[in-house]
């Protein structure tokens, strides 16, 4: 992991979930912290090594009036999962990358009682952009599709002057 990124997240093996790493922001004032602790891994459970898996654990603060996960929480989770996927798939630093486009189709009401998992794959990579797609699933075997998405992420700049 790039040292500067240690200020954004912690990604160490999670003893509660063998084969998974933690993904916790160290700055509680960042928006992403609202999502709570997450775990990440590459592939596994029948998924290929080209799939990044990001899991969040819904809390009461993530619900809407219908007692399911709020759509805004789901969108925030998907967006954060894109950047976690960059790290899990070894695609460079994600801290200063930018989401240019995120299209989401909600497929079902996500239950508050089960983890949500974003499964992200890269469909194309260019010098400056990542084209991504994925599913948010729920259920013991990830059999319930809650959302599908496509995204374009502009990679982090190579030099500080590229930020302007």
CATH value at residue 144: 3.10.129.10
What is the model's pLDDT at position 136?
Answer: 98
- Domain region containing 98: 3-163
Element (H, E) at 74: helix 71-88
Place of tokens 């399911």: 68
Bigger pLDDT: 28 vs 59:
59
Looking at residue 163, its pLDDT comes to 43
Mean pLDDT of 57-80: 97
pTM of the model: 0.90
pLDDT band at 93 (very low <50, low <70, confident <90, very high): confident
| Predicted local confidence at residue 5, as pLDDT | 53
* Token pair in block for residue 26: 């160290």
Whether the predicted pLDDT of 81 surpasses 90: yes
Mean pLDDT of 99-122: 97
Integer Cα distance of 55 and 36 in angstroms: 10
Total number of domains constituting the chain: 1
On the question of pLDDT at 7 being above 90, the answer is: no
Nearest partner of 79 among 59, 95, 99, 93, judged by Cα: 99
Mean pLDDT of the 67-94 span: 93
pLDDT > 80? residue 8: no
Which positions ≥6 away from 65 have C-beta within 8 Å? Answer: none
Average pLDDT over residues 120-131: 96
Residue 113 banded pLDDT, cuts 50, 70, 90:
very high
């Amino acid at each position: 992991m790039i040292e500067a990124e240690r200020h954004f997240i912690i990604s160490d093996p999670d003893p509660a979930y063998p084969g998974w790493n933690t993904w916790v922001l160290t700055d509680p004032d960042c928006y992403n912290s609202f999502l709570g602790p997450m775990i990440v891994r590459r592939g596994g459970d029948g998924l290929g090594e080209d799939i990044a898996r990001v899991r969040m654990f819904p809390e009461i603060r993530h619900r809407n009036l219908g007692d399911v996960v709020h759509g805004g929480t789901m969108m925030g989770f998907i967006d954060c999962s894109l950047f976690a996927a960059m790290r899990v798939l070894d695609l460079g630093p994600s801290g200063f990358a930018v989401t240019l486009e995120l299209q989401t189709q909600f497929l079902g009401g996500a239950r508050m009682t089960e983890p949500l998992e974003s499964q992200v794959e890269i469909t194309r990579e260019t010098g400056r952009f990542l084209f991504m797609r994925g599913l948010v699933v729920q259920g013991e075997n990830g059999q319930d599709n809650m959302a599908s998405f496509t995204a374009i992420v502009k990679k982090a700049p190579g030099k500080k002057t590229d930020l302007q």
